[in-house]
Amino acid sequence: MGKRVAVVGVGMTKQRAHRPDVNGVEIINEAVRAALADAGITRAGIDAVFIGNMDHFEGINYMETWSVDGSGGLMKPVMKLTTGGTTGTTMAMAGYYAVASGLFDRVLVIGWEKNSESDTTGAITTAFDPFWDRPVFAGAVAGLALEATHYLHETEATEEDAAYVAVRERKHALNNPYAHLHLDLTIADIMNSPYLSWPVKMGDMCPRSDGACALLLVSEDRADEYPQKPVWIQAVADRHLWAYTSDPYGNESIAGGNWFASLERASRDVYDKVGITDPLKQFDVAELYLPYSFAGLRWMESLGFCDRGGGPELVLSGATDMGGECPVNPSGGVMSSNAIGATGLLRVADVALQIQGRCEERQVPDVELGLVTGFGGCMWSDVLILGKEKPEKAKG
Amino acid sequence: MEPVAVVGVGMTDIRKERRTDSFADMIFEAVQKALGDAGMTIDEVDNVITVSNDFFDGRTISSMAIQDACGSYNKNITTVEGDGTFGALFGVMRVLSGSYGTTLVCAHQKGSESESRLITNAMFDPIYERSLGIEAITSSALQARAYMNRYPVSEEQCAMVSVKNHGNAFKNPIAQLPLALTVDDVMASPYISDPIKLLDCCPLSDGASAVIIANVDRAKKITKKPVWVKGLGFCCDAYHLGDRDLSEVASLSQAAKAAYAMAGISDPAKEVDLVELYDAFSYMEPMWLEGLGFCERGEGGELTASGKTAMDGELPVNASGGCLSGNPVMVAGLNRIIECVLQLRGEAGEHQAGKVKTALAHGTNGPCGQSHCVWILGGDK
């Protein structure tokens, strides 16, 4: 049986548009030092390092060996995973399995990106099939516009409903000194921002950021050795279902009754393991990888926070605002900061800090259980549940 | 460590160019072979690890290209970027975590579609090193020279590795480049980067592979011939070549130490029967054998010259022909594991190297063997 796994150290850089003062190894090191300091340990207290980013953003091949001066991995086991936008959550899950396996007690997981050094859209476009998709695929914005168009067609939702999400995320970010964008916006501001790819406007989209995040994950045998209260990983799951741009909107997905099938299946996988039947009531906070505003409506439906088409009513009710029934993205989320390889791991980090009660201005009261999602290329989904209570057994 | 076994293996032929095959075609073939070997259906695979590299594939999220073909639909899946030994090691972790009874690990590579020199140049520091033009071959040449300067290992001894491994490849139908060579042939081949000559180098290759890993309960149900994972270790040295003594093998020794400790091996030279290691260039074989503790430092060349590492020697090394006879990067490490599995089962066909009870598989990441991964596999639990 696997070991139970806890987060006991959290480190993140401030997310910024451009960090010309540090290179990639140095920005990684900032997050690593912060995580080690948080856990009250030095590099000697790490058994292995798992690190991820997206190769084509910084143009570094074998990034995991390139970065050992900053990651703390020198003369230690080092492994790289990369899954696109989900990379950050993938790192948390990799650390989970590495510790649960019993092979390592103390694993440092790192996600990072310096998008200021990248042609972000160019690099994302290369994710897609060179013959069938690439000639017509205009990067992440257009890919998401496809989903938004479908959503507006199938439901009563409006562009203004989505703008509410965009405003909420930016307002939440005002409480988070680590966020990249600090914007006090109105729905009118979003609606008046220029269209990037109908119906997605500039104000609906995430920025691209420089940043890094590191977490120390430890086994149940060592969880009490650290100054911060352990935050327990309750369950993890992912689904990466598709290879082509149009796959998520194919027959099985739509006619088959699915909305965002990978998110629906991955979330039900972890819900079943933890016993979640009413996510809106049972989760105290959610840090969701919402790269654009329409996701804050449609994906809430896929996550079971409301029925199909019920996203706008749920969100406009204030249930997902600070002070609502389940605040979504108190950190300001991805629409306020998006250092892509770090983004998913920042969601895990912020839920851990919420559970530890260390979120200061952005703290949600009395968080016991939190939900994390990661999103990536071709509509892939990672889902994790973190909690204050040690689970009865490892549930993977 | 709880017992974990390799229960199914599949390799495509390694070829210079598989022009009519996409990544997905190759992966589908490898996965089908592994499932067939294990006598399993894809429904019995609990989760999937894919191994690929965005640079070689020219694709961000390079695993997306094979998402459907690898059979991961509706399963938990993730992607390790690096040599297949690392990806498979993560597959073992997923089984040991208790979350999954079986893990499928697959890797693909099309060297024929890759600009290998530019891609391996991108391993180096973008400001200070890349503009020198340094890449896999030239950096390895620096290491080979440093190794030969410090230790009594000669170019001729390295050439013997090339002769041996290309010769072994004649007996392995999946190998790309069987060659009947003499030491003189290798020595007379043109220098690519002194002291590395053309026939000291692996070729560029296309290929894919898959392995299926299972916990003890599932392994017993799936196969009568499980091959057990006895020991694992991986370790990463310093990055900048100037920060390392390139003639030394610190991270390999450390990785080997961890794997031997787990496997309860105190004298590898006596207790390991066969080695499959990452020999992209001929000098690597003696150097890694030293790092793995099969002889003292500097004795690797003599070990080869003595014939002990030949297929009929005391310690057959790369009986498959090794990477010198076909090197689909990423896939290479998975193939090292698979070749060990076949040897342990006694199913390596013409390149079966006698009775093998304990075997060692090895892979590397980064320039000049910066990061190493060591597997000990055995026929008994």
**Of B95, B56, B106, the residue nearest B337 (C-alpha):** B106
Residues of A in contact with B235 (CB under 8 A): 75-78
Could B24 and A243 be called an inter-chain contact, meaning their C-beta atoms sit closer than 8 Å? yes
The minimal CB distance from B74 to the residues A76, A78, A265 is found for: A265
Q: Do A81 and B98 touch (CB under 8 A)?
A: no
Q: Report d(CA B375, CA B359) in Å as an integer.
A: 8
A383: enclosing H helix or E strand: strand A380-387
- Report the distance separating Cα B60 and Cα A83, nearest Å: 9
- CA atoms of A223 and B75, how far apart (whole Å): 30
DSSP string, A307-361: -TT-HHHHHHTTTTSTTSSS-B-TT--TTT---HHHHHHHHHHHHHHHHHT--GG
Task: Suggest the residue from A29, A62, A118 to mutate for an interface test with chain B (most B CBs closer than 10 A).
Answer: A62
Q: Which residues of chain B have a CB within 8 Å of the CB of A46?
A: none
Residue carrying structure tokens 């003189």: B184
Residue B63, amino acid: S
pTM for this model (two decimals): 0.98
Region label for B234, one of left (φ > 0), alpha (ψ between -120 and 50) or beta (otherwise)? beta
Alpha carbons B367 and A358: distance in angstroms, whole number: 42
CA A240 to chain CA mean position, Å? 15
What was the pLDDT predicted at B306?
A: 98
What angle, 0 to 180 degrees and rounded to 10, lies between the N-to-C axes of helices A295-302 and A139-154? 70
Contact A55 B97 (CB under 8 A): no
Please report which helix (H) or strand (E) contains residue A256, including its range. Answer: none
Task: Indicate the length of chain A as a whole number.
Answer: 396
Nearest Cα of chain A lies from the Cα of B269 at a distance, in angstroms, of: 24
Distance CA A19, CA B289 (A): 44
DSSP code at position A54: -
Q: How many whole angstroms separate alpha carbon A198 and alpha carbon A312?
A: 19
Question: Are A352 and A386 contacting, i.e. CB atoms less than 8 angstroms apart?
Answer: yes
Considering only CB atoms, B366 lies closest to which of A1, A2, A62, namely A62
Parts of chain B with a pLDDT under 70? none
Q: Residue B351 has which token pair?
A: 């390149």
Size of interface A-B (CB pairs under 8 A): 193
Query: Using CA atoms, how far apart are residues B342 and B363, in angstroms rounded to an integer?
Result: 17
CA atoms within 13 A on the CB side of B55: 21
CA A165 to each of CA A285, A297, A298, A317, A372: distance values in angstroms, whole numbers, following the listed order = 16, 8, 11, 12, 17
What DSSP element (H or E) covers A243? none
If 0-12 CB within 10 Å is exposed, 13-18 middle and 19+ buried, where does residue A189 land? Answer: middle
Concatenated DSSP letters for A75-100? TB-EEEB-BTBTHHHHHHHHHHHHHH
Residues listed for chain B: 381
Contacts of B54 in chain A (CB under 8 A): 54-56, 82
Cα B109-A122-A182 angle, rounded to 5 deg: 125
Query: Nearest Cβ partner of A61 from B55, B67, B371?
Result: B55
Question: Is the bond into A177 cis (omega within 30 degrees of 0)?
Answer: no
Å from B172 to nearest chain A CA?
30
CA atoms within 13 A of residue B195's CA, in its CB half-sphere: 18
- The CA distance from A125 to A245, in Å, is 11
Helix axes A295-302, A261-274, angle to 10 degrees: 50
Token reading at B305: 């010259």
Report residue A17 as tokens.
């548009």
3-state per-residue secondary structure call for chain B: CCCEEEEEEEECCCECCCCCCCHHHHHHHHHHHHHHHHCCCHHHCCEEEEECCHHHHCCCCHHHHHCCCCCCCCCEEEEECCCHHHHHHHHHHHHHCCCCCEEEEEEEEEHHHCCHHHHHHCCCCCCCCHHHCCCHHHHHHHHHHHHHHHCCCCHHHHHHHHHHHHHHHHHCCCCCCCCCCCHHHHHHCCEEECCEEHHHECCCCEEEEEEEEEEHHHHHHHCCCCEEEEEEEEEECCCCHHHCCCCCCHHHHHHHHHHHHHHCCCCHHHHCCEEECCCCECCHHHHHHHHCCCCCCCCHHHHHHCCCCCCCCCCCECCCCCHHHCCCCCHHHHHHHHHHHHHHHCCCHHHCCCCCCEEEEEEEECCCCCEEEEEEEECCC
Closest CB to B254 among A60, A73, A75: A75
Token output for B274: 């066969």
Q: Where are the domains of chain B?
A: 4-115+204-222
Query: In this structure, which amino acid lies at residue A364?
Result: V
Residue ranges of chain A with per-residue pLDDT less than 50:
none
CA distance A222 to A3: 11
Q: Determine, for residues B61 and A98 on separate chains, whether the beta-carbon distance falls below 8 Å.
A: no
B133-168 exposure pattern, b = at least 16 Cβ within 10 A, e = fewer: ebbbbbbbbbbbbbbbeebebebebbbbbbbbbbbb
CA distance B120 to chain A (A): 7
Domain B4-115+204-222, what fold? Peroxisomal Thiolase; Chain A, domain 1 (3.40.47)
Packing angle, helices B155-168 and B284-291, rounded to 10: 100
Using alpha carbons, select from A358, A159, A213, A163 the residue that is nearest to residue A171: A163
In chain A the domains, ranked by start, together with CATH numbers, are 5-120+210-225 (3.40.47.10), 127-207+232-387 (3.40.47.10)
Phi (first) and psi of residue A235, to 5 degrees: -165, 150
How far is the alpha carbon of B69 from chain A, nearest alpha carbon, in Å? 9
CB A241 within 8 A of CB B67: yes
C-beta of residue B268 within 8 angstroms of C-beta of residue B292: yes
Say if residue B178 is preceded by a cis peptide, omega within 30 of 0.
no
Question: What is the residue whose two structure tokens read 């991964």?
Answer: B373
- Residue of A389, A34, A16, A63 lying closest to A229 (CA atoms): A389
To the nearest 10°, report the CA torsion of A29, A30, A36, A37. Answer: 150
* Tokens representing residue A220 in the block: 């149940």
- Nearest CA to CA, how far is A283 from chain B (Å)? 23
* Set of chain A residues whose Cβ sits within 8 Å of the Cβ of B80: 79-81
Return the residue matching tokens 């066909």.
B349
Rounded to an integer, what distance in angstroms lies between the CA atom of residue B217 and that of residue B376? 21
Return d(Cα B343, Cα B359) in angstroms, integer: 8
| Element housing A230 (H / E) | none
Q: How far is B44 from chain A (nearest CA, A)?
A: 17
Q: Residue B366: its chain A contacts at CB < 8 A?
A: 62, 64-66
A101 closest CB neighbour out of B61, B93, B239: B93
Mutate to test the interface with A, among B51, B93, B130 (most CBs of A within 10 A): B93
Q: Do A84 and B64 touch (CB under 8 A)?
A: yes
